[in-house]
Chain A
């Protein structure tokens, strides 16, 4: 069976039925597309003009939009989400690339180092975040104890709005193993003879990196950037848990937890949406937030896809 036969099958009959067959194969997916993407998008627009708490539905025109435009928390959360895209994603990528490059130079114990660097990415997100908040506790956490031992007064990490996002970035860098592995594989895929040739031409390490390594791994870099941005746009779990644990305010039953602690510095757009929709039950307002998120995601998708296409064509 494996031997390829080159006598082409009658194309016309096959072709004509291919559309129909594809439809059959994909029909469950198309139903899913309708139910879980197309319909919800339309419904989100519809709800955004209403006051809806799952019990009563009332048309209120553009009131939700007017409120959201004035809502400081919306802008704060949008800025925070943008911060993650602009700072956290590059920090993660550069760190992963650095680790991968380092691993290619390691001669002894490479496998052990690789395992150690990869391991934290396996730790469940919630567990990792809870642990980080504990270790970065200004009063009792290990990090500030260690810093104090060398004479540095550590900041209030997750309690200080200026430090909370950098703290999360550190957490993200700690769990960068997946990306590192991908980069490592890409780096090892670069044909060795290219470097040898460059060396003979007298190219230094930096020039070799710039003119050989970078172009060779650029598709992988691009893919990781895209997934990184997608991930940053839906960033929810770590920020929510970090605020929750760091604030300690949830510790009282009956108290209501508002995400974003400290000072809303960890409030991301998805969290704000969740809060207004599924804690305050203002489905209309949450729909406006959802549409904002939708627009943001589409803009980034277009930018990245265009970049991607340029990169593809340039090759």
Chain B
């Protein structure tokens, strides 16, 4: 009996080595098999594609784009699964159940996916297929690669601006500066006798749908990271400016009233969106909202306009810019048919006709120059605002960082405390956010 502990230890060591020497990742990309002409001869296969679109109209548009691919490759069947979120993609890849192709709405995980090898490096096939990446704008190129590994392709881009409900604006023009936004919010907000909010001019809560710090930051030109990758949140005065402005407005509403109102609102992706229902006059939102409004049987008659976001009073040159990011698509490690998968990714991200079709249906910003200039891209004044924001020189994106999700979460968590007034010292609070981001960075070996 005495040697049992020893046996256990030995056994464990054996199993440990067996379990940690990573499993074979399956076939990978970059085998010297040029696509193009010869790729029509790819053997028949069924691809599994995961994407995040969830509304019926979006799903249909995306499936139309896939149908275009099927015309080119009739032998490849694409099995698309809707409504998939990033953590589900990562979980599946880590667990060895990766789909052949996965698309994400955000760029948050690109750094982590590229650096860990969760998505395959596309560089070799891009080279062998002779794809010229300079047709992509620099921003889109940068958010799809990390430290020289290009593991993603930009599918469509998003730009963020302001939507305003003309009926609720009382004849006012959309605000250009933060102080104008404050003033207008106060003017447009409607309350009942008990002080409960009935219509909000603008929701200043960072917990409200698209009001994440990454989307709000460009209003004051706030920076996330220093050159060396450490957090700049505590040292960039632009954050302080933004947060002070935002808190003042929250306090004007009253945090509790605001929260009560926020929680009574409908689903962001459903037909009861507060903007559709006339419960908020001005919202920060992405360009795709134009398509959602057009596709909604009740909201399509809404009289609304779009404009760039208002900016800091001291930095008027920022006006016209905004936040951009986009959906990205790539081939995960462990894909069963990586070569087929790449053909699909290539088609969806570089085929002008496909991009224009998708852009027209989803009202997303097309990423290639050819698609952006295509005469088939439907003209629409409300959508044009976002094309302009997208191409504005000061428009920014969230820089890639392996802990991007964690960092944003740390910041958002702090912001909730800040909003409700639990933070006494803003500087110290932001410094603490810095420290937590940097500590995590060190642990991740970044």
Contacts and interface: CB of A to CB of B under 8 A. Distances in A.
Nearest to A278: B91
B439 interface: yes
Contact of B118 (A46, A55, A60): A55
Interface stretch (A62-70, A117-125, A184-192): A62-70
B405 interface: yes
Contacts of B147: none
A43 B16 contact: yes
9 residue pairs, one from A and one from B, having the closest CB atoms:
A139-B264, A254-B105, A253-B52, A42-B12, A54-B94, A139-B263, A254-B106, A67-B443, A258-B409
Interface of A: 34, 38-39, 42-43, 46, 51-58, 60, 63-64, 67, 70, 72, 137-140, 156, 159, 247-258, 262-264, 278-282, 285
B443 A57 contact: no
B4 to A, nearest CB: 10
A249 B15 CA distance: 40
A252 B417 contact: no
Contact of B269 (A39, A46, A251): A251
B259 A253 contact: no
A5 to B, nearest CB: 35
Contacts of B45: none
B263 A53 contact: no
Interface stretch (B29-37, B80-88, B222-230, B291-299): B80-88
A127 to B, nearest CB: 20
Interface in B79-101: 83-87, 90-91, 94-95
A277 B173 CA distance: 49
Interface in B331-358: 333
Nearest to A52: B20
B173 to A, nearest CB: 29
Contacts of B85: 250, 253-256
A42 B16 CA distance: 9
A39 B84 CA distance: 34
Contacts of B409: 256, 258
A50 to B, nearest CB: 8
Given A253-B53, A253-B105, A248 B263 contact: yes
Contacts of B52: 253-254
B261 A55 contact: no
B83 A253 contact: yes
B104 interface: yes
B135 interface: no
Interface of B: 8-9, 11-12, 15-16, 19-20, 22, 52-54, 83-87, 90-91, 94-95, 104-106, 108, 116-118, 207, 209-210, 256, 259-261, 263-264, 267-269, 333, 405-406, 409, 413, 416-417, 422, 436, 439-440, 443-445
Nearest to A139: B264
Nearest to A284: B443
B94 A264 contact: no
Contacts of B207: 247, 249
Given A53-B94, A55-B117, A67-B443, A256 B108 contact: yes
Contact of B15 (A39, A156, A257, A282): A39
A281 B90 contact: yes
B266 to A, nearest CB: 10
A16 to B, nearest CB: 17
B406 A280 contact: yes
B86 A54 contact: no
B269 A67 contact: no
Contacts of B267: 251
A308 to B, nearest CB: 28
A70 B95 CA distance: 29
Nearest to B104: A254
Contacts of B12: 38-39, 42-43, 46
Contact of A138 (B106, B117, B260, B405): B260
A242 B349 CA distance: 39
Among B9, B207, B443, residue most surrounded by chain A Cβ atoms (within 10 Å) = B443
A158 to B, nearest CB: 9
B439 to A, nearest CB: 6
Nearest to A63: B443
B78 to A, nearest CB: 20
A32 to B, nearest CB: 14
B8 A34 contact: yes
Contacts of B84: 253
Among A34, A139, A278, residue most surrounded by chain B Cβ atoms (within 10 Å) = A139
Contacts of B8: 34, 38-39, 42
Contacts of B86: 254, 256
Given A67-B439, A254-B105, 4 more contacts: A56-B117, A70-B439, A137-B263, A279-B91
16 contacts: A39-B11, A42-B8, A55-B118, A55-B333, A63-B443, A67-B440, A139-B261, A251-B268, A253-B53, A253-B54, A254-B105, A255-B106, A256-B85, A263-B422, A279-B90, A280-B406
Given A55-B118, A253-B83, A256-B86, A138 B54 contact: no
Contacts of A43: 12, 15-16, 19
A263 B91 contact: no
A230 B219 CA distance: 49
A136 B20 CA distance: 46
Contacts of A278: 91
Contacts of B20: 52, 57
A56 B406 contact: no
A256 B11 contact: no
Contacts of A140: 263-264
A71 to B, nearest CB: 8
Contacts of B405: 256, 280
A153 to B, nearest CB: 10
B269 A253 contact: yes
Given A54-B94, A58-B445, A70-B439, A252 B209 contact: yes
B16 A281 contact: no
A56 to B, nearest CB: 7
A172 to B, nearest CB: 23
A279 B108 CA distance: 14
Contacts of A53: 94, 116
Nearest to A256: B405
A130 to B, nearest CB: 15
Contacts of B90: 279, 281
Contacts of B53: 253
Nearest to A54: B94
